[in-house]
């Protein structure tokens, strides 16, 4: 299960006692979950008004940072293409896998100095992730454009004779070149009409060179023929050919242009390979940045909500819970028994009065409300799209 619960409960005589009571009941005796202490440093509290305002803003920041984290992960999956099964192993936070990072969470003092106000720390995270989002748009747009151009060219190399690039198929000797009066056309003939073509192509218009047709190649549905005729009747020939369901391909044999076309594909393949490595590295680094920032936002939210709920001085224990599969309902009941006394209405309803809660600073805007501070954390960044 990739779902974790981040909760906090007020300190009993000591925070250690809060931790031991909760861990004994839910994990050691109940075997409902694995629990981990969440270490949140002594942050600057500020005023009550500031905390109430910040509570709402942190909720929005949480949603935003999570969405960018998932966006970076999803795009890394796209870029890996046929190596997408390696996505999970590329999604690391601080060079470690995601469960390990969150269960051993350490506040990053260098990036988010705790001497700053809570608002400033939130702003640092917002700017940092906003910059990653902006850079991702630029990088993904450039790479997608390159990839799209390459795919279009590759389609032309492999599609039906009606649409594919003919440069690799035709040769110089198939054409009358440098003639003042004559030209060679390429005609796509449905396979069912090959006999019709051979019997009638000379009669489609005047001034067609007799026995000038030659079959160059065929695919599943069509055959590619040449025909030589006078330049002056080309338009008339095209018209009568269309009536008979023969398609004249627009094509001029020019060796320089054909070579340039082949070079373009080679160049795009090379460019894509050159960009792939640095782009994957950038995505891995910035996924880590976003994910770590997201967990710091969660820690900020727990701190702010705990102060608003449990008051000053700051005295609460933050705990990260990893529920066992099929134990979530029982675990929720046990937590309500442990902490129901903190809020009578929530205890009696078991969290079901979520939609009616409108208490500033008490997790408003949350879909679930419990007598203890609670946030859900889903760290599955791959999902089942693979």
Q: The sheet that has 33-38: what strands, in order across it?
A: 33-38, 316-323, 3-10, 373-378
- pLDDT at position 346 over 70: no
Average pLDDT, the chain: 90
Phi, psi of 120 (to 5 degrees): -65, -40
- By the 8 A CB rule, do 166 and 251 touch? yes
The pLDDT score that the predictor gives to residue 152 is: 85
Model pLDDT for residues 13-40, shown as the tens digit of each residue: 899 999 999 999 999 998 999 999 999 9
Q: How far apart are CA 65 and CA 297, in angstroms?
A: 8
Q: How far apart are CA 342 and CA 335, in angstroms?
A: 11
The pLDDT score that the predictor gives to residue 59 is: 96
Model pLDDT for residues 191-241, shown as the tens digit of each residue: 999 999 999 999 999 999 999 999 999 999 999 999 999 999 999 999 999
What are residue 8's DSSP bridge partners?
318, 373
- pLDDT at position 128 over 80: yes
Please state whether the predicted TM-score (pTM) of the whole model is above 0.75: yes
Per-residue pLDDT, averaged over 246-275, amounts to 86
Fold observed for domain 172-252: Alpha-Beta Plaits (3.30.70)
Q: How far apart are CA 141 and CA 56, in angstroms?
A: 33
Model pLDDT for residues 50-106, shown as the tens digit of each residue: 999 999 999 999 999 999 999 999 999 999 999 999 999 999 999 999 999 999 999
- pLDDT at position 384 over 60: no
The pLDDT score that the predictor gives to residue 386 is: 34
Q: How far apart are CA 159 and CA 111, in angstroms?
A: 52
The pLDDT score that the predictor gives to residue 367 is: 57
- pLDDT at position 330 over 70: yes
Fold observed for domain 3-149+270-343+368-378: subunit c (vma5p) of the yeast v-atpase, domain 2 (1.20.1460)
Tokens of residue 339, six digits = 């902490």
CA 369 to chain CA centroid, Å, is: 31
The pLDDT score that the predictor gives to residue 343 is: 79
Q: pLDDT band for position 164 (50/70/90)?
A: confident
Intervals of CATH 3.30.70.100 along the chain: 172-252
Q: How far apart are CA 216 and CA 214, in angstroms?
A: 6
The pLDDT score that the predictor gives to residue 258 is: 76
Intervals of CATH 1.20.1460.10 along the chain: 3-149+270-343+368-378
Q: Which residues contact 266 (CB under 8 A, 6 or more apart)?
A: none
Phi, psi of 256 (to 5 degrees): -65, -45
Identify the residue with better confidence: 347 or 251.
251
Q: How far apart are CA 278 and CA 275, in angstroms?
A: 6
């Amino acid at each position: 299960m990739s779902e974790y619960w981040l909760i906090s409960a007020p300190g009993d005589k000591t925070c250690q006692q809060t931790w031991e009571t909760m861990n004994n009941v839910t994990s050691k005796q109940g075997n409902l979950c694995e629990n981990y202490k969440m270490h949140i440093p002594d942050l600057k509290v500020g005023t009550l008004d500031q905390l109430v305002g910040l509570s709402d803003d942190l909720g929005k920041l949480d949603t935003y940072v999570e969405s960018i984290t998932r966006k970076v992960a999803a795009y890394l999956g796209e870029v890996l293409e046929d190596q997408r099964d390696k996505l999970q192993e590329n999604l690391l936070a601080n060079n470690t896998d995601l469960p390990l990072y969150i269960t051993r969470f350490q506040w990053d003092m260098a990036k988010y100095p705790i001497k700053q106000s809570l608002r400033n720390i939130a702003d640092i995270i917002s700017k940092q992730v906003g910059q990653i989002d902006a850079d991702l748009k630029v990088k993904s747009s450039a790479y997608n454009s390159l990839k799209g151009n390459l795919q279009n060219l590759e389609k032309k190399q492999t599609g039906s004779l009606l649409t594919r690039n003919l440069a690799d198929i035709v040769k110089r000797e198939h054409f009358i070149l440098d003639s003042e009066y004559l030209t060679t056309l390429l005609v796509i003939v449905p396979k069912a009409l090959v006999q019709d073509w051979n019997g009638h192509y000379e009669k489609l218009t005047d001034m067609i060179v007799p026995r000038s047709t030659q079959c160059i190649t065929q695919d599943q549905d069509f055959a590619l023929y040449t025909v030589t005729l006078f330049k002056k009747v080309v338009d008339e020939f095209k018209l009568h050919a269309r009536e008979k369901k023969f398609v004249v391909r627009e094509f001029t044999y020019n060796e320089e242009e054909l070579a340039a076309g082949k070079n373009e594909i080679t160049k795009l393949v090379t460019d894509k390979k050159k960009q792939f490595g640095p782009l994957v590295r950038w995505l891995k680094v910035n996924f880590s940045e976003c994910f770590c920032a997201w967990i710091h936002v969660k820690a900020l939210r727990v701190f702010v909500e705990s102060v608003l709920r449990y008051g000053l001085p700051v005295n609460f224990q933050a705990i990260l819970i990893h529920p066992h599969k099929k134990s979530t309902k029982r675990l929720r009941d046990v937590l309500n028994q442990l902490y129901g006394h903190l809020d009578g209405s929530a205890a009696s309803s078991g969290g079901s009065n979520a939609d009616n809660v409108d208490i500033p600073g008490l997790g408003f805007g949350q879909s679930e409300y419990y007598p203890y501070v609670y946030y859900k954390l889903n760290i599955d960044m791959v999902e089942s799209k693979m």
